[in-house]
Structure 1
Amino acid sequence: MSNVSYYAPPGGHPPQTQLLTDRAMFTEAYAILPKGVLQDIVTSHLPGWTNMRMWVLARPLSGFAETFSQYIVELSANGGSDNPENDPEAEGVIFVVKGEVELVLNGTQHTLQEGGYAFIPPSTKWSIHNRSHDLASFHWIRKRYQRVEGLDAPEAFVTNEKDVKPLVMPDTEGRWSTTRFVDMADMRHDMHVNIVNFEPGGVIPFAETHIMEHGLYVLEGKAVYRLNQDWVEVEAGDFMWLRAFCPQACYAGGPSRFRYLLYKDVNRHANLTIGFDPRR
């Protein structure tokens, strides 16, 4: 991908003269957080960080999407943390959308620029800092790793989406592709965080309905997206949150590409009743 750009929230507040009407909605099957709601007033902070704020896009909710959380973290100059993750069973993905960060994984230092991607396994020692004088923003997606007997947790890795060749979906004439960061056949991974790419006019030509929970952050472009029974307009900076089995499809509206960062849970049994003992 050349000439790639990503939307990052600028924060601030709208003027008192702005109309309230917006595209934000929360339904039984999906939620939309349009870019206009990512203002200063809805930022959060975490202990153990300096010069940091974040927008919480998704968190586990009973009866909705239950497997992941997703943040947009903004670091000012010299911001960061030496111990960002306090859950030893949490795995994570970092994706940089603005500026540059220094990521240290198990003692090895990496510089992640825009488009930089890192997978962080559970129980990994890591730190992240902004060593520049400019703002840096990145997505941080977290999931509690589901261990399987006989499978080790996957190893950490760092790359950049510009160095990963997108895979074209069959029978789409190149209009729909996916930038995949892990091998789909690697059963050690229980989540995939990919980038889905549509050329102008590209479509998902059927209503996808499946067990995966989804988080979709629009990186570029605009589209009309089908969510459950509704068609909604989305653009760069919007976030869509889908529970399992929510029908989805889309038309990429142009004039530029439509691209989004996609989370989904994969490769594991569906959890059954809490406390169920299969030996009984």
Structure 2
Amino acid sequence: MSARTYYTPAGGLPPQSDLLTDRAVVKLAYSFIPKGVLRDIVTSSLPGFTDARAWILARPTPSSAQTFSQLIVEIAPGGGAARPEAEAGVESVLFVTAGELTLTLEGERHVLEAGGYAFITPNAQWSLENEGSGITSFHWIRKAYEYLEGVDAPASFVTSDNDIEPVSMPDTDDVWATTRFSDASDMAHDMQVNIVTFKPGGSIPFAETHIMEHGLFVLQGKAVYRLNDDWVECEAGDYMLLRAFCPQACYAGGPEDFRYLLYKDMNRQIRLT
């Protein structure tokens, strides 16, 4: 496996001499947000945060996500939030790509570096601060937790990409693996945020078509990705949102591993009323 890196947007603006044409596209089945879109003028401010800005990649709208929101949050030294989540019943995953993020969770202090991961159960008490000397950047995935009768919500936990061994997918000769931060068979979890890794030349060898919707941020490498009936070139920093039942497949290029942070909803019956 190649050395792990985590793409982090830097903002800024392109020169006036650049062409307007880019790879960004929004369709009914999927959206593709290339890294070139993540500029200063498309950032948002977040209530309760100081010295911070965010790129909002997905939110519940007819043309975007249905079950979750995903943000890239950047915090300058000394900035943070005493109460990041003001909405009741919302669970979160934080994944750090650059700098150091101090997470105080139920009174316990954790310092997350690049690759650091935290699952935060709904209604937990937590805060964020950048106590370092440089910019910190992290993904923040939020979902309204779907409670099950007789099942407690999963407990919060903190870990790291560096501490979990990827598990190879069956019959793939170790070219396709998944870093699972929670147990998919645990019905307490109604979502997973994992990291998928392909070695150069690895592929999803069929068009996956399934109920889960996906948010997919490319952390490292490049590939050609099948999105519905289109083949799209993607690279580190690009984001793909796949609606439920959008056919998907991919073929990883080189010379390094192709890795992406993947959201999916799971373990719940379909609500009809």
Give deviations 1:170-200, integer Å, cap 9, x for gaps: 1110000000001111000000000000000
Superposition pairs of residues 5-24 of structure 1, within 5 angstroms:
5-24=5-24
Question: What is the letter of the counterpart of residue 111 of structure 2?
Answer: T
Residue matched to 1:166: 166
Using the TM superposition, give the Cα deviation of residue 2 of structure 1 relative to its aligned residue in structure 2, in angstroms.
6.9
Residue matched to 1:226: 226
Q: Contact 1:29–1:64 (CA<8 Å) still a contact in 2?
A: no
Matched, 1:34 2:34: yes
Separation in 1 of the partners of 2:38 and 2:270? 33
Q: Contact 2:177–2:196 (CA<8 Å) still a contact in 1?
A: yes
Q: Contact 2:91–2:145 (CA<8 Å) still a contact in 1?
A: yes
Residue matched to 1:59: 59
Q: Contact 1:193–1:262 (CA<8 Å) still a contact in 2?
A: yes
Using the TM superposition, give the Cα deviation of residue 61 of structure 1 relative to its aligned residue in structure 2, in angstroms.
1.4
Q: Contact 2:226–2:249 (CA<8 Å) still a contact in 1?
A: yes
Residue matched to 1:198: 198
Question: What is the letter of the counterpart of residue 180 of structure 2?
Answer: R
- Could you say what secondary structure the match of 2:88 adopts? coil
Cα root mean square deviation, aligned: 1.0
Residue matched to 2:119: 119
Residue matched to 1:137: 137
- Could you say what secondary structure the match of 2:241 adopts? strand
Residue segments in structure 2 that go unaligned for 5+ positions in a row? none
Using the TM superposition, give the Cα deviation of residue 3 of structure 1 relative to its aligned residue in structure 2, in angstroms.
3.0
Matched, 1:241 2:241: yes
Residue segments in structure 1 that go unaligned for 5+ positions in a row? none
Residue matched to 1:3: 3
Separation in 1 of the partners of 2:192 and 2:271? 18
Residue matched to 1:186: 186
Separation in 2 of the partners of 1:173 and 1:270? 35
Question: What is the letter of the counterpart of residue 10 of structure 2?
Answer: P
Separation in 2 of the partners of 1:62 and 1:18? 31
Most deviating of 2-11 and 165-174: 2-11
What's the TM-score once normalised by structure 2's chain length?
0.98
Separation in 2 of the partners of 1:262 and 1:63? 19
> Would you identify which runs of 4 or more consecutive aligned residues in structure 1 move more than 2 Å?
62-65
Q: Contact 2:26–2:63 (CA<8 Å) still a contact in 1?
A: no
Separation in 2 of the partners of 1:37 and 1:14? 10
Q: Contact 1:72–1:139 (CA<8 Å) still a contact in 2?
A: yes
Question: What is the letter of the counterpart of residue 208 of structure 1?
Answer: E
Q: Contact 1:225–1:234 (CA<8 Å) still a contact in 2?
A: yes
Q: Percent identity?
A: 62
Residue matched to 1:47: 47
Provide closer, same or farther for how the CA distance between residues 64 and 75 of structure 1 changes in structure 2, counting only shifts above 3 A: closer
- Could you say what secondary structure the match of 2:192 adopts? strand
Q: Contact 2:74–2:135 (CA<8 Å) still a contact in 1?
A: yes
Most deviating of 60-69 and 173-182: 60-69
Question: What is the letter of the counterpart of residue 165 of structure 1?
Answer: E
- Could you say what secondary structure the match of 1:54 adopts? strand
Using the TM superposition, give the Cα deviation of residue 47 of structure 1 relative to its aligned residue in structure 2, in angstroms.
1.5
Using the TM superposition, give the Cα deviation of residue 63 of structure 1 relative to its aligned residue in structure 2, in angstroms.
6.4
Provide closer, same or farther for how the CA distance between residues 32 and 161 of structure 1 changes in structure 2, counting only shifts above 3 A: same
